[in-house]
Amino acid sequence: MIVIPAIDLKEGKCVRLEQGLMEKETVFSNNPGEQALDWELQGAELLHIVDLDGAFAGLPKNREAIEDILRTITIPAQLGGGIRDIATIEAYLSLGLSRVIIGTAAQRNPELVREACAKFPGQIVVGIDAKNGMVAVQGWAEMTDVTAVDLAKKFEGFGVSAVIYTDISRDGMLQGPNLEATRSLAEAISIPVIASGGVSSLKDIEHLLAIESYGVSGVITGKAVYTGAIKLSEAIALTKG
Which residues are known to be catalytic? 8, 129
**Pairing assessment for the beta strands 216-221 and 2-10 based on DSSP bridges:** parallel
Helix axis angle for 202-209 and 232-239, nearest 10°, is: 20
* Element housing 203 (H / E): helix 202-209
Q: Which amino acid is at 26?
A: T
> How far, in Å, are 39, 40, 85, 162, 241 from residue 109 at the CA level?
34, 34, 10, 18, 40
Residue type, 9: L
- Contact yes or no for 209/238 (Cβ under 8 A): yes
